[in-house]
Chain A
Amino acid sequence: MKGPAPVPHQAPHPEATRTTGGTLPAQARTAAPAGAGTPAPVPTPTRTPTSPPAKDAAPVLLPPEVRRALGARGADGDRDTEGPAPQPEGWRPGPRTLRLSTLVALAVLLAVLTSQPWLLALAAAPLGLLVVSGSGGDRPERAEAVADVPSRRCFEGEPITVTVTAFFDGTVGWIDPGVAPGPGTDLVSVDVTGPVVTLGFTARRWGRWSLGTVDLDLYDTGALARRTVRAELGEIEVFPLPADGSFTPIPVRLPNRLGEHTARQSGEGIEVVGVRPHVWGERQRRIHWAATTRRGSIQLNQFAAERTADVVIMLDAFADVADPVTGVSSLDESLRVASGLARTYLRSHDRVGVVSVGGKLRWLQPGSGETYFYRLVQTVLDVRRDLSFTTPDLSRLPPPAIPNSALVYAVTTLADSRVMDVLGVLAERGNPVVVVEVPIGDPRLAKNDDLEQLALRLWRLDRQAQRYSLVEKGIPVVPWEGGTLDLSLAPLLRTRIQGRSG
């Protein structure tokens, strides 16, 4: 049996032109001397439409009310995952009361100590403000904040609107909101209308995130005392923006289900694959009249069968490498590529499944339908929490997770050697496998350091050897270059992808 045809690289690999980023392998780390953190001159990073903004992008100037609500947390995205400590319940003096009282006490104390009675006039000023602002209304005895999140599912970059309503039984003079957003969202707007606080968030990264907490400071009518009520905003699911693409390479063998891909078997499709003599008993509606006239006997058109394809996307969650140049997380890009593949095949009515390796083994058997996209993504939304040091055993997967003839797309960075074992197991099972390599960039190097240059060269050679070993096993390796998946998948359209099972 002839082995599968490897697909060569049609374009130079991204690593051939990138000079920084990524992590050094063990040997390179050993060879690199101390002080190997100086960044080398790099080309301007190209940003794909699905990539998050680079770290060195210009900071967005937030409105003052948003900055006040965020406090010291800011909008840099490096916030703690834990919210602030809850404030004590009940009424307590506000900052204005503390400031004025401090001045009164200090002026009186100094007047006594220095025997200067005129300092009592300085004490009278804040004391007069305290007296004038003394609360004349009834403070609320009961107060509660209720959050309302109309939609808890969105895509990256989409806005999320949250409404927090304060309920109380007295009179309140001022509501001052403080927001501790979760790690995957950004607060972009704060609007206070009466007792209703409307918060606008923007989903920054895919994942299952906590929206955070909101503390509403309720001030009395004199702004002298305050009380804090807290509202938990709950969790949201942020779906990745799928990479664009329209090409759907298919394996040699397709399952026996009606679909849109032309199979090699003859069937009832619409693509003519040949002409054959009529057999007694067959329908005569597909007569090829030209051949019939030429040969003198009835000839029928022969059509190819149209079948659906089974596609399983294997997500490599062994490592999450941040590119130091662009700040792009490799796992973020991997899931964007995987969701783009899933969307492309689901649009052509194929069945798509997913398996994530790295820590906990997550899988979902192939299915079809537009809404199946969301189930696929939901299955792997938590892979960021799955980083582990164990190698998953694919033999523990039930057979429906990876059908025999399913085309397997392995979306990986090839940064962790354990994924090579997984790919080897897949190749031994006979599935046609395609590796979509997500680039991670090169490690940072110090200028004019021969040792580091040598380490970088060894690192590149090591990765080239990895790719070569995969190609030798009959596994095509296509690089993800950003933009559209068609650039990566175009070489696979020249032939059908073969596996060991055919």
Chain B
Amino acid sequence: MTTPPPPPPAPAGPAAADLRSGPVLPPPPAAPGILPEAAPGWTPEPAPGSGFDVWAVPASSVFGSSGQDWTLRLLAGLLALAVTDPAGWFSGSLMRLLVPLVAVVGALFAGGPVAARPVAISFRWASRLSQHRNTMFTACCVLLAALVHPPVWLAACDTALLLSYLLLLDAIVGGPPAAELLRRPAALLSVYAGCAVVLAAVLVPVASTGSWARLVAALALAASGTGALTALRLHRRPPPPPP
């Protein structure tokens, strides 16, 4: 005579509790011991001094969760208007007015943050374009900016708006490390200053300075290098602890 196998452990839950009106059922099985032995040097907790008090909060804490989307779209719309050369909107035909209109519509559609995880979900072009629409939007903005010859003030506006859009976009979709940049004013200032230096360097009319042209170019290179080094030093310095 064979002995029947023992009954399986019962599930735990309200339905199971409803089942057992009489005798008490055996408890559910304990969690299997599959946790590996923590190897020396493994860090299941954030490294002290890393400066990241949060691990996985995709949204930035600087803006509200409902307002950040439209803030980014508004910034995208401004960027799209700026790269279409507003000074020349009424200088050509009526078709010229369609360009900023299409740009704004595209900005409202593609300028919003992509909240999906960056994984390949399909090999279709439409799906891929939708997944990378933020990159496509900024690339189109650069392309539109290259088609016109903007005045200096508009070039500065384009640069500032593009940098602001990228900063805000990273803060929303880039995770806590990217959002951390918004809490580092020195780093922000260095990035903006670097862009200003580059813009100033490329707009300086060195051709008319004669023999001083080499000196101006060398100063521009030195300023750029100094800005990059400053940015690196600022990055490696841990942020001050919160009060």
Contact = CB atoms under 8 A, between A and B. Distances in A.
Do A and B belong to a common assembly?
Answer: yes
A72 B236 contact: no
A134 B177 contact: no
B7 A169 contact: no
A241 B15 contact: yes
B174 A125 contact: no
Nearest to B57: A192
B195 interface: yes
A136 interface: yes
Interface residues of B toward A: which range? Answer: 35 or more
B94 interface: no
A251 interface: no
A114 B149 CA distance: 10
Interface string A56-97: 000000001101110110000000000010010000001110
A116 B11 contact: no
Interface stretch (B42-50, B70-78, B101-109): B42-50
A428 interface: no
A171 B58 contact: no
A64 B198 CA distance: 40
Interface stretch (A15-23, A143-151, A321-329, A355-363): A143-151
Contact of A178 (B8, B9, B11, B117): B117
Contact of A168 (B43, B162, B198): B43
Determine the main DSSP class of B at the interface with A: loop
Contacts of B65: 64
Interface string A2-13: 000000000000
Interface in A116-137: 116-122, 124-126, 128-129, 131-134, 136-137
B117 A132 contact: no
B55 A153 contact: no
A222 to B, nearest CB: 6
Given A124-B195, A219-B177, A222-B177, A174 B11 contact: no
Contacts of B199: 118, 121, 124
Contacts of A118: 150, 155, 199, 202-203
Contacts of B174: 96, 223
A371 to B, nearest CB: 4
Contact of A175 (B12, B55, B163, B236): B55
Contacts of A448: none
B8 A153 contact: yes
B42 A119 contact: no
A493 interface: no
A103 B10 contact: no
B202 A154 contact: no
Contact of A132 (B25, B56, B190): B190
A219 B178 CA distance: 11
Contact of A155 (B11, B119, B191): B11
Interface string B182-196: 000001001100110
Contacts of B7: 369, 371-372, 374-375
A176 interface: yes
Contact of B43 (A134, A158, A169, A219): A169
Most buried by B among A131, A136, A152: A131
Nearest to B169: A99
Given A132-B187, A134-B235, A153-B8, A106 B166 contact: no
Nearest to A367: B4
A103 B195 CA distance: 14
A370 B19 contact: yes
Given A131-B228, A375-B7, A173 B177 contact: yes
B58 A65 contact: yes
A177 interface: yes
Interface string B119-139: 101100000000010110011
Nearest to B41: A169
Contact of A144 (B15, B36, B47, B119): B36
Looking at A102, A120, A151, A178, which has the most chain B CB atoms within 10 Å of its CB?
Answer: A151
A461 B65 CA distance: 60
Contacts of A95: 118, 173
Interface string A152-189: 11111110000001111111111111100000000000
Interface residues of A, number: 99
B142 interface: yes
B58 A72 contact: no
A151 B45 contact: no
Interface in B83-126: 115-119, 121-122
B53 to A, nearest CB: 10
Contacts of B232: 131, 134
A176 B177 contact: no
B162 A122 contact: yes
Given A71-B116, A99-B134, A118-B155, A155 B16 contact: yes
Given A151-B11, A222-B177, A374-B7, A194 B44 contact: yes
Contacts of A176: 56, 58, 117, 175
B8 A378 contact: yes
Contacts of A102: 135, 139
Given A133-B235, A169-B43, A374 B177 contact: no
A437 interface: no
B215 interface: no
B191 to A, nearest CB: 4
A497 B55 CA distance: 66
B11 A153 contact: yes
Contacts of A68: 58, 115-117
B60 to A, nearest CB: 12
A347 interface: yes
Nearest to A141: B41
Given A87-B119, A134-B235, 15 more contacts: A71-B116, A95-B173, A99-B138, A113-B146, A121-B155, A124-B194, A129-B167, A132-B235, A136-B235, A137-B47, A146-B34, A172-B46, A174-B52, A217-B117, A370-B19
12 contacts: A96-B173, A118-B155, A136-B236, A142-B42, A152-B29, A153-B9, A153-B28, A170-B47, A173-B55, A173-B175, A192-B55, A223-B175
